[in-house]
Amino acid sequence: SAKDIKPILKFIDSHQAPDNVQYFGKAKGKNVFVIHLESLQQFMIGYKWDGQEVMPNLTKFYHDQSTMSFDNFYNQVGQGKTSDAETMLENSLYGLPSGSAMVNYGTSNTFQAAPAILSQQGYTTASFHGDVASFWNRDNAYKSWGYDYFFSKPFYKDADNPNYNVGYGMKDKIFLQDTAQYIQQLPQPFYAKVITVTNHYPYDLDKQNQTIKPFNTGDNTVDGYVQTAHYLDQAFGEFLAWLKASGLYNNSMIVLYGDHYGISDNHRPAIAKLLNKPEVTNADLANFQKVPFMIHMPGLKGGINHTYGGEIDVLPTLFDLLGVKDDNYVQFGTDLLSPKHISIVPFRDGDFVTPQYIKYQNQYFYTQTGKQIDFSKDPAAKQAIAKIQDYVDTSLSDSDKVITGDLLRFYTPAGFKKVNRKDYNYNPAKT
Ligand code: GP9
Ligand code: MN
């Protein structure tokens, strides 16, 4: 009921992180590209294999002086995988402890998501993905989130060409080329989310696109990963070249993120080989959850930012740069650029990482050394961790209450116009 949102607003309010005055509004009015790098993990940035850089384009971008790159940024997804990442990035709400929030609540719930907020500020908003519209219930959830356009499979003339398909669907290079045609027609400023898919398990790729040897861990579910990741990097390189050639680059902010791991915890021996370690600990596995997060804009003061954070923190960070005031919004993350950013990264199962401590699969470690904590020798750690756990548990359960109770229907931030799903139609014949 309406009163259930009260304690949650109080919790959010007591963890407000103010904008960073040096960055606030630096990207105001720019086009925004949010490029979803499927299953891409941070360890692949700068990784060398088969005598070459696996991801030369992304690695160069990572080190570019106009890119703010995060090297302690974690995925926080649960069973909802891609859909959890999308939910966090555009709502700063967590996915659910099981299932997918987009699937189970995306059609019916009230949201105050990034596309709706930005379109009320004059942006055109569009999501691009070469798969069927119903996957993860995007076709419904995106209406609730206020996307003006959703370009899904039927919009892509090449989607059914067998030469252009592999694994999960359209190959990224083709997908991005076709996407570019639509992007060129969007009224500016726009917010465009572009969801790649080739670097998705089972990491299949046609022979002609295999331009790097597979890994040699001997683990079949892992070894192709480097080939599809390499292909994804080339696809990104081509897209970036197009952005520059089209001139869009000059008035855009480009945001990149990896949505979740590509190599799951079930592959310890293979992970040990890839990381060149005799064996992997749970602390290593926690760090293996790092995914790329980069914000690039011509003129932006970049560099490697070591702040600890995750997908839940993206929305307040982008709104800071875009100069969008979001103090009244229900966000469970905090601005990565804020001096008051909360450096606690909850995982969906209640584990966490902070600059000091890691809890992973119910073991505790010091983040900086990877050593396991002996609480009898460090009672202070025990106290500190109890406080962290409390924050983690409250954040996750409050976010779950917001979603399962549809609590945002009882609370409309000042200045926000409620989304009416009926205003949207993503049917190709009618748009
Ligand atoms: C398919 C897709 C994959 O449309 O985005 O989702 P995932 O399996 O990674 O959750
Ligand atoms: Mn995914």
**Rounded mean pLDDT, 327-351:** 98
% of the chain at pLDDT higher than 70:
100
**Rounded mean pLDDT, 256-260:** 99
DSSP state at residue 72: S
* pLDDT band at residue 16 using 50, 70 and 90 as cut-offs: very high
Q: How many other β-carbons are positioned within 10 Å of the β-carbon of residue 123?
A: 25
In the prediction, which pLDDT does 431 show? 46
The 10s digit of each residue's pLDDT in 155-205 is: 998 888 888 888 788 999 999 999 999 999 999 999 999 999 999 999 999
Question: Residue 132 CA: which ligand 1 atom is closest?
Answer: 4
In the prediction, which pLDDT does 348 show? 98
**What are the C-alpha distances in Å from 275 to residues 49, 216, 271, 418?**
12, 13, 6, 48
DSSP state at residue 140: H
Active site residues: 82
70 C-alpha to ligand 1 centroid (Å):
24
Give the number of residues written for the chain: 431
% of the chain at pLDDT higher than 90:
96
258 C-alpha to ligand 2 centroid (Å):
8
In the prediction, which pLDDT does 166 show? 86
Joined tokens for residue 333 = 């993350």
In the prediction, which pLDDT does 1 show? 86
* pLDDT band at residue 242 using 50, 70 and 90 as cut-offs: very high
**What are the C-alpha distances in Å from 280 to residues 215, 308, 354, 360, 386?**
18, 22, 19, 13, 26
Quick one: which H or E segment has residue 85? helix 81-91
Cα–Cα dist 372/364, whole Å: 6
Give the residues surrounding ligand 1 with Cβ less than 6 Å away: 81-82, 129, 131, 135, 168, 195, 197, 200
Question: Does 425 score more than 60 pLDDT?
Answer: yes
Task: List helix spans (H) across 43-80.
Answer: 56-63
- The answer to whether the CB of 78 falls within 8 A of the CB of 348 is yes
342 C-alpha to ligand 1 centroid (Å):
29
Cα–Cα dist 313/352, whole Å: 14
Nearest ligand, measured from the Cα of 196: 1
- The answer to whether the CB of 330 falls within 8 A of the CB of 15 is no
Cα–Cα dist 413/335, whole Å: 18
Question: Does 9 score more than 90 pLDDT?
Answer: yes
- DSSP secondary structure string, 170-213? E-HHHHHHHHHHHHTTSPSSEEEEEE--SS-TT----GGG--SP
Residue nearest to atom 6 of ligand 1 (CA): 82
Question: Does 430 score more than 60 pLDDT?
Answer: no
**Mean pLDDT lowest among 23-37, 165-179, 294-308, 348-362:** 165-179
**Rounded mean pLDDT, 126-154:** 97
Cα–Cα dist 292/47, whole Å: 13
**Mean pLDDT lowest among 152-166, 225-239, 249-263:** 152-166
In the prediction, which pLDDT does 75 show? 99
In the prediction, which pLDDT does 4 show? 97
Question: Does 419 score more than 50 pLDDT?
Answer: yes
Q: Pick from 37, 82, 175 the residue to mutate for probing ligand 1's pocket: most ligand atoms within 8 Å of its CB.
A: 82
Residue nearest to atom 9 of ligand 1 (CA): 82
Question: Does 271 score more than 90 pLDDT?
Answer: yes
Q: How far is CA 24 from the centre of its chain?
A: 21
Nearest ligand, measured from the Cα of 103: 1
Which amino acid would we find at residue 225?
A: Y
Quick one: which H or E segment has residue 127? strand 124-129
Question: Residue 83 CA: which ligand 1 atom is closest?
Answer: 10
Scored b (16 or more CB within 10 A) or e, 379-413 reads eebeeebeebbebbebbbebbbebbebebbeebee
Q: Pick from 37, 38, 89 the residue to mutate for probing ligand 1's pocket: most ligand atoms within 8 Å of its CB.
A: 38
DSSP strands (E only) in 209-290: 252-258
Question: Does 96 score more than 60 pLDDT?
Answer: yes
Cα–Cα dist 409/107, whole Å: 13
**Mean pLDDT rounded to a whole number for the chain:** 97
The dihedral over CA atoms of 372, 374, 378, 382, expressed in degrees to the nearest 10, equals 80
Scored b (16 or more CB within 10 A) or e, 286-298 reads bbbbbbbbbbbbe
Q: Pick from 34, 36, 76, 136 the residue to mutate for probing ligand 1's pocket: most ligand atoms within 8 Å of its CB.
A: 136
Nearest ligand, measured from the Cα of 79: 1
In the prediction, which pLDDT does 332 show? 98
